[in-house]
Amino acid sequence: MKVTVENKKNLEKNLKVLIDKTTINKELEQRYEQIKKDVVLKGFRPGKVPTDIIKKQFGKAVYGEVIDKILKESSAKALDEKKIRPALQPKIDLKSFGEGKDLEYTISITEFPEVKLDTLDKIKFDEYEIKIEDSETNKRIKEIAKNQKNFIEVDAAKVANEGDLVSFDYKATVDGNEFEGNEGKNTQIEIGKDLFISGFDKQLLKAKKGDEINVEVTLPENFPKKELVGKKSIFKCKINYVKKPKEVEINDDFAKTLGAKDLNDLKKIMSKQINEEFKNSLNMISKNQILKGLEQIKVEDVPQALIDEEIKVLGQGQTEEDLKKNKINLEKNASKRIKLGLILNEIGEKNKIKVDPNEIQAEIQKQLSMMPGQEKIIMDYYKKNPSASASLRGTLYEEKIIDFIKSKAKSNKKVLNKIEAEKIIKAENEKNLEEQNKTIKASTSVKDKNKTKKKENKALPTKKTKKVSKK
The domain limits of the chain are 2-111, 150-246, 263-441
DSSP code at position 249: P
Per-residue pLDDT of the chain (471 residues), as tens digits, is 899 888 777 788 899 999 999 999 999 988 888 888 877 777 677 777 788 888 888 888 999 999 999 999 999 999 999 888 888 889 999 998 888 899 999 999 988 888 888 778 889 999 998 888 899 899 999 988 887 778 888 888 899 999 999 999 999 999 999 999 899 999 999 999 999 999 999 999 999 999 999 999 999 999 989 999 999 999 999 999 999 988 888 999 888 988 889 999 999 998 888 888 888 899 999 999 999 999 888 887 788 888 888 888 888 888 888 888 888 888 888 888 989 988 999 899 899 999 999 999 998 888 887 776 788 888 888 888 888 888 899 999 999 999 999 999 999 999 998 899 999 999 999 988 887 776 666 555 555 555 555 555 444 444 333 333 333
Separation in Å, CA 3 to CA 27, 48, 91: 19, 40, 16
Q: What is the DSSP string of 18-77?
A: EE-HHHHHHHHHHHHHHHHHH---TTS-TT---HHHHHHHHHHHHHHHHHHHHHHHHHHH
3-class SS of residue 443:
helix
CATH number assigned to the domain covering 150-246: 3.10.50.40
In the sheet with 2-9, reading across from the earlier edge strand, the strands are 2-9, 12-19, 103-110, 91-96
3-state helix, strand, coil split of the chain in percent (to 5) is 50, 20, 30
CATH topology of domain 263-441: Trigger factor, domain 2 (1.10.3120)
Superfamily of domain 2-111: Trigger factor ribosome-binding domain (3.30.70.1050)
Q: Are 285 and 424 in contact (CB under 8 A)?
A: yes
Residue 406 has a CB neighbour count (10 Å cut-off) of 17
